[in-house]
Amino acid sequence: MSYEVIGITVLWVFLYGYLIVASVDFGAGFFSYYTKRTNKNHIIHDIIQRYLSPVWEVTNVFLVFFFIGIVGFFPQTAFYYGSALLIPGSVAIILIAIRGSYYAFATYGAKESRFFTFLYGATGLLIPASLTTVLTISEGGYISYEDGHVQLLYGELFGSLYSWGVVILAIVSVLFISASFLTYYASRAQDKGALELLRKYALIWSFPSIIMGVIVFFLLGGRNPEHFSNMVDLWWMFAISFLAFAAATYLIWKRRNYGTAFMMVMLQYFAAFFGYGVSHFPYLLYPYLTIYDGFTNETMAIALISAFIGGLLMLIPSLYFLMKLFLFDADYVQGKK
């Protein structure tokens, strides 16, 4: 296996980790705001706060690793994506900063503000919507490259059905992943009221997530036939994704094995996410950039691969102990400490 393949595989693993961890976080923020507006916040407020308190500070670790790695392994991505995503990227950074500000104020005892609560809920949907711009642009046709200058075609981006389909898919996926995990978390806490409400949310957002996945799949056929053809060749990965979705939804509907249900949700998105990534190979940006274009030198590649694998080996046990000591500690989950 070449260094290029190892590098992009490691980065994709980090991005998948961010997809799951951040989705739970973003969705929790939206549900917190939504239930407050519908006078149901008292039902799930404690569950969400007990989850977020020890987790919010580590959520963006995966994202930081990914962006450092993508520029380290593939320096030319900074030229293409850095120029094109100057405005969308700046918006995403501002939204992440606003979200972090809410966490800081809420954690350290400032009086709760309706305006900040609204921003907290809104950023839970706007951040994934803005970040998915990268995946949309990677399909090609949204960037012009002339005389050494890269320009994002905003008219093409905002007028594209595929672009909006990806945004909607990102939002409904965030809500489904988050509701599925929080349902499991509520069951661990033995909080029947929160469990029923979050279970309802998980079922509500389950079908929009799978329907939008199918819609975006076919929209890609019109946007990038080559990538679409590659995805069709990997149909079995998407079949695994669908079967995992069906298993998760069935278990949640039957009120059984919520932990297994969330594992199936993780498998669902793992299969779909890696199916998408493998079928995108070797392009980082159609048709300008592949993983073999401008790859870093061998010495740097070995150093980066070693550092990232080491970081992953440290991060996974850290998350395990975080969950062991806080998230899944019986007394902590039930609010006894």
Burial letters for 133-165: b for 16+ Cβ neighbours within 10 Å, e otherwise? bbbbbbbebbbeeeeeebebeeeebeebebbbb
Q: With a cut of 90, say whether residue 289 has pLDDT above it.
A: no
Rounded to the nearest 10 degrees, what angle do helices 192-223 and 161-189 cross at?
A: 160
Structurally, how many domains does the chain consist of?
1
- Counting residues of the chain whose pLDDT is more than 90, the rounded percentage is 33
Which residues, including other chains, have CB under 8 Å from residue 7's CB and lie 6 or more apart? 69, 73, 74, 291, 295, 301, 304, 305
Q: Which residues pair with 160 in a beta bridge?
A: none
Tell which phi-psi region holds residue 294, choosing left (phi > 0), alpha (psi between -120 and 50) or beta: left
78-82, 195-199, 304-308 — which one is most confidently predicted on average? 195-199
Structure confidence at residue 71 (pLDDT): 84
Using CA atoms, how far residue 318 sits from 325, 326, 333, in Å, is 10, 12, 19
Could you tell me the pLDDT band of residue 306, with boundaries at 50, 70 and 90? Answer: confident
Q: Bridge partners of 143? A: 152
| Per-residue model confidence (pLDDT) at position 228 | 94
Contact 136, 88 (CB under 8 A): no
DSSP state of 297: P
In this prediction the pTM is: 0.90
DSSP state of 146: E
- pLDDT at position 52 is 62
Q: Is the dihedral of CA 56, 57, 62, 63 positive or negative?
A: positive
Taking the C-alpha atoms of residue 333 and residue 328, their distance in angstroms, rounded to an integer, is: 6
Q: Over the stretch 15-34, which tens digit does the pLDDT of each residue have?
A: 898 899 889 888 888 888 88
Amino acid present at 310: G
- Whether a cis peptide bond, with omega within 30° of 0, leads into 287 is yes
Q: Are 231 and 201 in contact (CB under 8 A)?
A: no
Give tens-digit pLDDT for 270-281. Answer: 999 999 999 998
Instruction: Identify whether the C-beta of residue 74 lies closer than 8 Å to the C-beta of residue 296.
Output: yes
What are 101-123's pLDDT values in tens digits?
776 666 555 556 677 778 878 88
Domain coverage including residue 35: 3-333
Q: What is the C-alpha separation between 122 and 20, in angstroms, rounded?
A: 19
Helix (H, G, I), strand (E, B) or coil at 148: coil
Q: Which residues contact 83 (CB under 8 A, 6 or more apart)?
A: 149, 150, 151, 152
Q: What is the pLDDT of residue 112?
A: 61
Residue scoring higher pLDDT (323 or 227):
227
CA atoms within 13 A on the CB side of 42: 1
Is the pLDDT assigned to residue 217 strictly greater than 80?
yes
Higher pLDDT, residue 63 or 286: 286
Give the model confidence (pLDDT) of 226-251 as tens digits: 999 999 999 999 999 999 999 999 99
pLDDT band per the 50, 70, 90 thresholds, residue 96: confident
The residues near 139 (Cβ < 8 Å, ≥ 6 apart) are 162, 220, 223, 224, 227, 286
In the predicted model, what is the mean pLDDT of the chain? 84
